Structure 1
Amino acid sequence: MPISADRFEEIDDHDSGPTPGTNAHEILSFLESYPNQAFSQSEIAEATGVTRGSLGPTLVRLREAGRVDHRGNYWRVSDHVQSVDAATGHAAEVAASHENEPMAYDEWQDHAVDPRKDRE
């Protein structure tokens, strides 16, 4: 069934990760809890409750999506995911620290660069 253009524009296209309750979410959540360690499939299966038959294909999909790294018999959360998580956390902290401060629009405007000046 088609949707309206307005509804289409409201769709959040940002990848916020696997859907909670899925095998991918369980695996990624576990690995994110231990960013400085790598685990075998057996260890991941035991910790997450994901069956061995589902674990391998899910790990491969997570690797193809760039969310986990694989070497030998071991898997870990990717450096990229750790970097994104750190940046998101930092941005949230900065936003929260400015939440109750009044916006100094005039001061901001004084420091803003006029893009037209760059063309002269």
Structure 2
Amino acid sequence: MPISADHFENIDTEGDEPTPGTNAHEILSFLEQHPDQAFTQSEIADETDVTRGSVGPTLVRLRESGRVDHRGKYWRISDHARSLDHAADHADAVAASYEEESFDYDEWQAHAVDPREDRE
């Protein structure tokens, strides 16, 4: 089904997570579980449901998008992807800590300044 040009222009694919069940998702999930290790294409194929013939092209696309690093015959999750994951984890933890704090609306309201008040 075609989409409108406006809808097309609003599609943002940068930074999107791969769709679960895709080769990219399978490989990234595996590499994210082993952030301090690097693997050959054969090892990645053996540890995931991705066929050997699909591992290489998928890794190349993931490298082009900055998700994985490649040295010699080894591949690993990129430092950039790891730092984004850590930043997201930190943001989640901060948000959760605010949710745990009690909030007294009456106290907040007592200290709030009404913007309609004429201040001298």
Gaps of 5+ in 1: 111-120
1:76 matched to 2:76? The reply is yes
Q: 1:98 to 1:58 in 2, by over 3 A?
A: same
CA RMSD, 1 decimal: 2.6
| Higher CA-based Rg | 2
Q: 1:103 to 1:42 in 2, by over 3 A?
A: farther
In the alignment, the residues of structure 2 paired with residue 103 and residue 82 of structure 1 have an alpha-carbon distance, to the nearest angstrom, of 37
> SS state of the match for residue 38, structure 2?
coil
Indicate the residue corresponding to 1:35 in structure 2: 35
**CA deviation string 1:52-92 (max 9, x = no partner):** 11111000000000000000010000000000000000000
Q: How many residues align structurally?
A: 104
Alpha-carbon shift at residue 15 of structure 1 (Å): 2.8
In the alignment, the residues of structure 2 paired with residue 77 and residue 91 of structure 1 have an alpha-carbon distance, to the nearest angstrom, of 21
> SS state of the match for residue 99, structure 1?
helix
Indicate the residue corresponding to 2:59 in structure 1: 59
**CA deviation string 1:17-72 (max 9, x = no partner):** 11110000000000000000000011000000211111110000000000000000
Q: TM-score w.r.t. structure 2 length? A: 0.75
Question: 2:38 is matched by which residue type in structure 1?
Answer: A
Gaps of 5+ in 2: 114-120
